[in-house]
Amino acid sequence: MKKTLMISIMALLFLIACVQEQSVEKIKVGAILPLTGAGSLSGEQAKNALLMAVEEINAQGKVNIELIIQDSKSSAKDGVTAFYELMSINKPDVLMPALSSVSMALAPLIEEQQIPAIALSATAPALTVNKTWIFRYFPAAYAEVVPPINTMNKLGVKKLGLLYLDDDYGRAMLKLFQEKFEVAAEPFLVTDADFRTQIAKLQSKNVDAVFIAGYDNHIKNSIIQLKELGFDKPVISVATASSPLFRKDNSTNGLYVTAPTIYNADSPAKAFMDEYRSKYGSEATQYAAYAYDAMKLLAAAVEKGGDIRSSIEQTTAYSGLFGNVTFKNHDAVFELHSAVIENGQLRYLP
């Protein structure tokens, strides 16, 4: 009798385990990140944050995510190679590409393959226009230029000098600024480190301020070289420059930047920032926070059941590290602020 009862209990436990196993939604996520090349800082931050989010999601037992990471090498060409490798070998259910240049190159392939994708650190406005399968969890260029435009209007800027990366991201910034200011524009390549020629040309055109649009190393080198060449007017840059990793030395003092909410002392991201620092021995930036939130958003969509693309598309609001985020078509819309760097700290401007 006892033996029979024990067998029955074991059979029941096995059945319960099988039911629980079946109730867990399993998906594969392929992340195509710039782990090397000019965008490697953002790629490393995104990778770490995605791993953190997946670990937390899987521990909760409702969704099981297998994360496969490929290096785009900050190159559209290598990003496309990584895409085909993922699709042929791993067959992911969802993609997370990063960078405007890579994401724009992948966009037609994603639409053709009909695979849901959430783009990270990609600002090019055209990325999500008339797209069915691509979403963006990162500020688009049209949102990121609002704070610096407000700053420049308060500073009385009429003629803007634009030093910009000549790719989809930089050209989008150029177009948006040309709608508001007289712009003297000087492009540069992703591999460039010396901007003295471009700076001299901007100085000769008597610009009222210089805006720098590029990766962290482009911005840092440009700031140093502007000072070396005696440029004494306002310098403004993108949200990349608001991160604690960027503003830790004196060369950034006085730089005007766009700043997300996560660097506020009372930000909902504080616990995440502390955990990231403890886990990786480095400060988290916006790139980590956006990636972490994007994965959590995806898990919530998967948990709803049914078609993943439709579940993401039906998301009208999400509360995460950036507070309450709303959505405009396929773009997440974030609160962004004007700020200035003072002695390594951000001072948010009214």
* Residue extents of the structural domains in the chain: 27-140+267-334, 143-260+337-348
Q: Is pLDDT above 70 for 263? A: yes
Please provide the distance, in angstroms rounded to a whole number, between the alpha carbons at the two ends of the chain.
78
Q: Residue 266 — very low, low, confident or very high, per pLDDT cuts 50/70/90?
A: confident
Domains 27-140+267-334 and 143-260+337-348 share a fold: yes
Q: What would the pLDDT profile of 276-290 be if each residue is shown by its tens digit?
A: 999 999 999 999 999
Q: Which residues contact 312 (CB under 8 A, 6 or more apart)?
A: 116, 118, 135, 297, 298, 301
Beginning with the edge strand found earlier in the chain, give each strand of the sheet holding 117-119 in spatial order: 63-71, 25-33, 94-97, 117-119, 134-136, 331-333, 323-328, 317-320
Largest CA distance in the chain: 97
Q: What would the pLDDT profile of 180-215 be if each residue is shown by its tens digit?
A: 999 999 999 999 999 999 999 999 999 999 999 999
* CATH class of the region 143-260+337-348: alpha beta
Give the pair of three-digit tokens for residue 181. Answer: 């200011």
Pick the CATH number of 27-140+267-334 from 3.30.70.20, 3.40.50.2300, 3.20.20.140, 3.30.70.260: 3.40.50.2300
Q: Residue 5 — very low, low, confident or very high, per pLDDT cuts 50/70/90?
A: very low
| Among 21, 1, 19, 27, residue whose Cα is nearest residue 298 | 27
| Among 219, 205, 132, 209, residue whose Cα is nearest residue 169 | 219
Q: What's the whole-number mean pLDDT along residues 43-72?
A: 97
Q: Residue 12 — very low, low, confident or very high, per pLDDT cuts 50/70/90?
A: very low
Residue type, 342: E
Sign of CA dihedral 349, 293, 288, 142: negative
